[in-house]
Amino acid sequence: MAPLVPVAVRPGPVVGDHTVIADGLVIGDRVVVEGAYVLKAQMLKAQLGEGHAH
């Protein structure tokens, strides 16, 4: 599986409990629909490094 890469999207209209993605994705792109908060926290932690900067 390819690594996950953040992509900017432009949200479109809300239809029921779903938001249409108007721009930024193409058919076949894989997206995170659950656990996005945890995934983002892990990505930020990796950017900052594992150690403490005291």
pLDDT of residue 20: 94
Cα gap 6→51, rounded to integer Å: 24
Give 14-37 pLDDT, tens digit per residue.
999 999 999 999 999 988 888 888
Backbone angles phi, psi at 3, to 5 degrees: -65, 150
Say if residue 43's pLDDT is above 60. Answer: yes
What's the one-letter identity of residue 53? Answer: A
Task: For residue 14, give every residue at least 6 positions away whose Cβ sits within 8 Å of its Cβ, in sequence order, or none.
Answer: 20
